[in-house]
Amino acid sequence: MKRQDVILRGLIYNEEVSLAVADMTQTVNEAIRIHHLSPLSAAALGRTLIVAAYMCSSLKEEHGALSVTIRGDGVGGGIYVSGDASLHMRGYIENPYAELPLNARGKLDVGGCVGKNGYLSVVRDDGENIPFVGTTPLVSGEIGEDFASYFTCSEQLPTAIAVGVKIGKDGSCVGAGGVFLQPMPGASEESIARAEEMIGKFSAISSLVEEKSAEEILKEYFGEVNFYTRRPAYKCNCSRHYIEGILAALGEEEIRSVVKEQGKVSVHCHYCNTDYTFSPEEAEAVIARAKSKADT
């Protein structure tokens, strides 16, 4: 039976370090199914989905949301991931079919897919006032290191990160997971050093997740920990109603000119790879509804 995706969170090392262990194999498989991803594109987008879901599990407000953009100069192009406090995650990569030879360690060359020159940007909305926006330059394009640099430089929250995606021979994901160790404010030097040392044991996190459940990993490496369970999933929040709103915002003139040119209007949702098509009559109905809304 396939395991359900999970993020386990708890406090370790005298409650001085926040721990998260994530298994997101199914989420990555859903991304592969929706976007027909090559193994390399799946690894790059998958790693981003895992870290973004971890960040979503830290959102304070019920209505909080978060968006990650990674723009490097690699063959994969830009990576875009969004999620919310319910851990409904979605994302896409500009080149879903990216391919490169394996790297020197015989692994998928995620660094080459993402690129070393570029930036990682996060927009985080805790549901309070103005969203927080942070941007840092890419370090290696390996994503885990890039996010670690982001946490240190942009959020002043040094975080030890191990993240990985393993793709099987048939192109499906057999293990996708992450371990995150974030010292709490005021954590002792000793706890910080322990966290830094510990993260080194998870260099093969995707293989670990392939073999063991997140709970087994947590118990094996951290012992008895009081943890709570969150359930991430790939879920797009678009709907025909939502897309109608986007269409209406284009304005009457623009909608009619597209209908005239193409005989219809199509709006594409990149996150779930869905086309919403409006016939000339349906487009007119959208215009009429937008007008009646504006009048009231």
Q: By the criterion CB under 5 A, which residues form the site for Zn ion?
A: 236, 238, 269, 271-272
Q: Which is nearer to Zn ion, 92 or 180 (CB)?
A: 92
Cα 49 to Cα 82: distance, rounded to the nearest angstrom: 8
Least distance from Zn ion to the Cβ atom of residue 271, Å: 4
Q: Which is nearer to Zn ion, 151 or 278 (CB)?
A: 278
Q: Which is nearer to Zn ion, 150 or 276 (CB)?
A: 276
The pair of three-digit structure tokens given for residue 242, joined into one six-digit string? 């939502």
Q: Which is nearer to Zn ion, 71 or 90 (CB)?
A: 90
Least distance from Zn ion to the Cβ atom of residue 205, Å: 29
- For residue 71, what are the contacts with CB-CB under 8 A and spacing of at least 6? 78, 79, 118, 119, 121
The pair of three-digit structure tokens given for residue 54, joined into one six-digit string? 């971890």
Cα 195 to Cα 182: distance, rounded to the nearest angstrom: 8
> Each residue of 95-113: b (16+ CB within 10 Å) or e?
bbebebeeeeeeebbbbbb
Least distance from Zn ion to the Cβ atom of residue 236, Å: 3
Least distance from Zn ion to the Cβ atom of residue 273, Å: 8
**Listed residue (274, 215, 187) closest to 239, CA to CA:** 274
Q: Which is nearer to Zn ion, 19 or 31 (CB)?
A: 31
Residue type, 92: Y
Least distance from Zn ion to the Cβ atom of residue 257, Å: 25
Cα 203 to Cα 243: distance, rounded to the nearest angstrom: 41
Asked if 250 contacts 242 with a C-beta cutoff of 8 angstroms, the reply is no
- Tell me if residue 199 falls in helix, strand or coil: helix
**Listed residue (219, 204, 193) closest to 163, CA to CA:** 204
Q: Which is nearer to Zn ion, 20 or 269 (CB)?
A: 269
Tokens 């870290």 belong to which residue? Answer: 51
Least distance from Zn ion to the Cβ atom of residue 29, Å: 18
Least distance from Zn ion to the Cβ atom of residue 36, Å: 16
Q: Which is nearer to Zn ion, 3 or 36 (CB)?
A: 36
Cα 229 to Cα 8: distance, rounded to the nearest angstrom: 5
